[in-house]
Amino acid sequence: GMDVWAACATSDFHGEVDYWPGQFSETWLYVPERNPKGVLLALRAGTFFAAHGHIVRQAAISVEAKGLSRPAEAGEVIEVPAESEVTIRLQMVVPERDWANEPNHIDEVELIAVTSDGARTLAKQRPPSNEPAMQTSFRVATGGVVLRARGRRSGENGSDLLFYTNPIRILSTT
């Protein structure tokens, strides 16, 4: 039940042999106001995502459920009756070039579910060229679920570039 926002990609700069802040790692905030107060509100709310290598822009996970006035977004908690079906969408913008000005693409997107039984991949696919990058339905069991998304661009020698969204927590009622 504790909100832990972990979709951060920090810049740990140690000199000329390292990446400059923002050159490779990025944490993108969806701020309600473009000022320091808005930044703090976004960090507290979990409305942000992280990426390495500038592989994605505007990554956003959302959940639609019967009875909601609008889709839930990263950082939000919703409640649905147990065994309700929800629709999960991942939308993203993939820039033509990455951090090194090389051609860019995303090889795979995943939807990750975390329950009291552990974490598992609900869906995995190569994103289509149009939006959304992923859309799937899921039946929420008793006990609820935490959903988040991850994207990957495979690199040489296992040096994958990744992005992660923060989660949406779905509580279930009986």
pTM: 0.88
Q: What pLDDT digit, counting tens, does each position of 137-174 carry? A: 999 999 999 999 999 999 887 789 999 999 999 999 87
| Pick from 31-35, 85-89, 107-111, 129-133: least confident | 129-133
Conformation bin of residue 51: beta by default, left when phi > 0, alpha when psi is -120 to 50: beta
Contact indicator for 15, 31 with CB cutoff of 8 Å: no
The per-residue pLDDT for range 22-66, each reduced to its tens digit, is 788 899 999 999 999 999 999 999 999 999 999 999 999 999 999
